[in-house]
C-alpha cells in the first residue's frame, strides 16, 4: 500500500512540474516590440504579415513574439490637440504556443504641438506617443494564455520610420 502511495505522489509531482509549460505564468507581463516602416522602402517586420501594422519583439519569460494592431480608433478630445484612441491588439508567441488578446484605450499625442503643424498630409516621420491602459481579453486569448485575465500600461513612441511598444502589467489565470 505504501509503495502505491509513493508512486501516486511521484506521478502527481510530475504533473505539477509539467503544468506550467501549458499555461501562462501568473505575475508580471513585460514586453517590447518594434515596427519599421521606412519611407519609400518596403518595411521588413518578418514574420509579420506585410499588410499588417505589426511589430517584432519579445515577451519576458515567453520569448520571441509579434504584436499586431487589429483595429484602432481615433477621436478628437475637446480643447486638446491629442486624440482619444482605442485598440484591439494581439501578441502571438513565435513558437506557436499562444496568443494574448488585448483591448487598450488612452491617448495619442504629438509632442510640442507638432500635431497642429502646417505640414502636408503626406509629411513623413512626425513623432507621436500613445499612452494606453490595456485589459487582457482571456476568452479571445489562446494556448498558454487561454482564459487569463490582467491589466497594464502600454506606451508606443513613433518617430521617423520606427515605432517602439512597451507593455508592463500583470496576467493571472
Give the chain's domain count: 1
Residue 60's nearest CA partner among 149, 171, 173 is 171
Residue 153's nearest CA partner among 133, 131, 171, 172 is 133
CATH number at residue 114: 2.40.350
Range of the domain at 120: 24-172
Q: Which residue has the higher pLDDT, 138 or 114?
A: 138
Q: Is residue 119 part of a domain?
A: yes
CA geometry: angle at 20 spanning 63 and 22, to 5°? 75
Tens-digit pLDDT profile for residues 59-115 = 999 999 999 999 999 999 999 989 999 999 999 999 999 999 999 999 999 886 555
Residue 101's nearest CA partner among 152, 148, 65 is 148
Predicted TM-score (pTM) of this structure:
0.79
Q: Is residue 42 part of a domain?
A: yes
Q: Is residue 18 part of a domain?
A: no
Cis previous bond, 37, omega within 30 = no
Q: Three-class SS string for 59-118?
A: ECCCEEEEEEEEEEEEEECCCCCCEEEEEEEEEEECCCCEEEEEEEEEEEECHHHHHHCC
Q: Is residue 28 part of a domain?
A: yes
Q: Is residue 50 part of a domain?
A: yes
Do 102 and 91 touch, CB atoms closer than 8 A? yes
Q: Is residue 92 part of a domain?
A: yes
pLDDT at 10: 40
Q: Which residue has the higher pLDDT, 46 or 42?
A: 46
Q: Is residue 9 part of a domain?
A: no
Do 25 and 159 touch, CB atoms closer than 8 A? no
Tens-digit pLDDT profile for residues 107-137 = 999 886 555 555 555 555 678 999 999 999 9
| Beta bridge partners of residue 67, listed in sequence order | 55, 91
Amino acid at each position: 500500500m505504501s509503495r502505491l502511495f509513493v508512486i501516486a505522489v511521484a506521478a502527481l509531482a510530475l504533473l505539477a512540474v509539467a503544468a506550467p509549460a501549458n499555461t501562462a505564468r501568473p505575475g508580471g507581463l513585460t514586453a517590447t516590440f518594434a515596427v519599421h516602416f521606412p519611407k519609400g522602402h518596403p518595411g521588413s517586420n518578418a514574420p509579420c504579415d506585410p499588410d499588417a501594422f505589426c511589430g517584432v519583439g519579445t515577451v519576458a519569460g515567453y520569448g520571441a513574439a509579434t504584436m499586431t494592431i487589429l483595429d484602432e480608433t481615433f477621436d478628437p478630445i475637446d480643447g486638446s490637440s491629442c486624440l482619444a484612441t482605442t485598440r484591439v491588439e494581439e501578441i502571438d508567441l513565435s513558437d506557436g504556443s499562444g496568443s494574448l488578446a488585448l483591448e487598450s484605450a488612452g491617448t495619442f499625442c504629438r509632442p510640442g504641438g507638432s500635431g497642429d503643424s502646417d505640414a502636408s498630409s503626406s509629411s513623413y516621420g512626425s513623432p507621436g506617443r500613445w499612452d494606453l491602459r490595456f485589459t487582457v481579453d482571456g476568452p479571445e486569448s489562446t494556448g498558454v494564455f487561454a482564459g487569463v485575465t490582467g491589466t497594464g500600461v502600454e506606451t508606443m513612441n513613433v518617430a521617423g520610420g520606427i515605432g517602439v511598444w512597451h507593455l508592463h502589467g500583470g496576467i493571472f489565470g
